[in-house]
Amino acid sequence: MAERFDVVVVGAGPAGAAAGLVLARAGRSVCIVERGLFPGAKNVYGGVVYPRILESIVPRWWEEAPVQRFITRRSTMVMTATQALTVDYRTAAWGSPPYNGVTALRPEWDRWMAGHAERAGAVVLCSTVATGLLRDGARVVGVRTDRAEGELEAQLVVACDGVNSFLAKEAGLYPEVDTDHVTLGVKEVLHLPKEEIDRRFAVTGREGVDIEILGATRGVPGGGFLYTNYDTLSVGVILQLSALGRSGRRPEEFVAELKEHPGIAPLVAEAELKEYSAHLIPEGGYDTMPRLVTDGMLVAGDAACMTLAAGIWLEGVNLAVGAGIAAAETAIEALGRGDVSAAGLAGYRRRLESGFVLVNHAKLRSVPSLVLSDRMQFRYPGMMCALAEAIFTVGDPEPKPGLRRIFRRALSGAGVRLRHLLRDTLVAIRSFG
Amino acid sequence: MSVDLRRPTGVEPGWPAVSFEDRMGTVDFRIAGRAHIVVDDEVCRSCTTRECVTACPANLFVPTANGGILFNYEQCFECGTCYLICNNEGAISWAYPEGGHGVVFRRS
């Protein structure tokens, strides 16, 4: 006999836990299926959550969430092999409610969120793989699992099954996946005493630092990051999958290279490796998203390519939570009306499009490609560092060159044409403006 | 001779040299009895790019002397890199390991 629920949510990550929580609070019977030993066991991310959206489902989340550090210092670093230009911003405002970014470990964070769903009445079924969809004609009516007698019937399935989303693919919601728009994240978690982290990163107490890096992955489009946890650091790179394959280089070499950069080495020196990890990231944004609904099913989070990789904004967990809430609200409405067809679920996209999830994604749709473009990756970092170096070098006895000349030299030295720079600037202004 | 600026900071270039085995040794795996990824060695023999060999973050694909690929599923991150970059239809059959098995991240 198959078990029956109003809704089966697949995946107890941030999207699935948020969806399960909202559904359970509305009195719906809901089962969250999680393939890991516990929620978060299969999940890796860089390390920063922007949790303000949580306020709507867990008021005063900061009093209970498993936060490592609250980000009060955000640096954006542009580097070449021997140079680094950093914009470093620090504010006390992010150190008090409602906060901004926080570092957290996913095994703790996801378990905490799923715990809320469970206390609201959701069944969290761990160590269980959803192996496929149950169908009635074209309509999704539940999932098969790898448990004995493991069919879970439901009026609705919410697929929050992550970047590989075999369920969304099985439902035919995905076009072909393009490896230009998928990146591999590789990360090391390194231990240092808490006080040593405070000293090296110039913070105190629970204050934390977020460093995002462009130009760290020579030869392969991507980026680097370094975050402070309580008594560990998260350091790693993201690498465009197609280019990584062609490069013939191993992923962990890029992390090693970043750790040896003169701007990074003193921060991570002598730290002890505690865990190595890797995960894929769907970076393509709006234009690479699958269809979000079909008869009897909704897709949310990484399963729907909702990670936002827009250079200065690197977000994922918040968008997953936002989409999970929207999926649950749509489900509640559709179940109430008794119409779980794709048409009956159309409110999902409307909700996302009137909120931050798809408004931000639609507005920034050209940014992910711009960030991974050859010029942004391999020419502009050198150009920007050359500009800074020329401006700050005191070249006596030569008289100082004018800024115009410095600018022209930096451009030609980095092989940048002015018209390309202007065109890219225009794309950036249109997207960010 | 120029001054070596790096020395007084105590930062030794190349620190710390962690072997790949030690690196993988930091990760917790609950090894399933059955392989969740199956590689068709026959298809791999005709592959000229072999991107899986270098791109796999867990370094699980090993070229064999006879031109095939040896694959070890036990220390897999379940990321999906291999099947996505594989050019050869049917070479890699990829599914999740049975529930509760496979990688268990603790600090990610």
For range A6-14, the mean pLDDT: 98
Q: Which residues of B touch A165 (CB under 8 A)?
A: none
CATH of the domain at A232: 3.30.9.90
Residues A354 and A389 in one domain: no
Q: Which member of B27, B84, B107 has the closest CB to residue A241?
A: B84
| A69 within a domain of the structure (yes/no) | no
Does residue A202 sit in the same domain as residue A275? yes
- Summarised one tens digit per residue, pLDDT across range A277-318 is 999 999 999 999 999 999 999 999 999 999 999 989 999 999
State how far the alpha carbon of A221 is from the alpha carbons of A241, A247, A309, B95, in Å.
Answer: 9, 11, 13, 28
Q: Enumerate residues 6+ apart whose C-beta is below 8 A from A206.
A: A67, A69, A70, A230
Count how many pairs of residues, chain A against chain B, have C-beta atoms within 8 Å. Answer: 136
ipTM: 0.95
Kindly state whether residues A242 and A335 are assigned to the same domain. Answer: no
| Strand pairing class (A151-159; A297-299) | parallel
Same domain, A164 and A186: no
Alpha helices in A26-174 (DSSP H): 106-119, 166-170
The reply to whether A31 and A115 lie within a common domain is yes
Residue ending a domain, among A326, A347, A364, is A364
CATH, domain range B29-98: 3.30.70.20
CB A344 within 8 A of CB A297: no
Q: For residue A1, what pLDDT is reported?
A: 56
Last residue in a domain, options A260, A282, A304: A282
Q: Which CATH number fits the domain that encloses residue A22?
A: 3.50.50.60
Residues A306 and A335 in one domain: yes
Q: Provide, as residue numbers in chain B, all residues whose Cβ is less than 8 Å from the Cβ of A106.
A: 105, 108
Statement to judge: residues A121 and A262 lie in one domain: no
**Structure confidence by residue, pLDDT tens digits, A124-160:** 999 999 999 999 999 999 999 999 989 999 999 999 9
Cβ contact B81–A187 (<8 Å): no
Contact B44, B88 (CB under 8 A): yes
User: What is the residue type of A216?
Assistant: A
What is the rounded average pLDDT of the residues A173-195? 96
Domain shared by A263 and A221, yes or no: yes
Q: Do A197 and A171 belong together in one domain?
A: no
Q: What is the pLDDT of residue A2?
A: 74
In chain A, the number of structural domains is 3
- Domain final residue pick, A282, A298, A332: A282
Measured in degrees and rounded to the nearest 5, phi and psi for residue A432 equal -85, -25
Residue B96's closest chain A neighbor by CA? A129
Which of A348, A252, A335, A339 minimizes the C-alpha distance to A306? A348
Residue A355 lies in domain = 3-46+105-176+288-364
The yes-or-no verdict on residue B11 having pLDDT over 70 is no
Residue A315 forms part of a structural domain:
yes
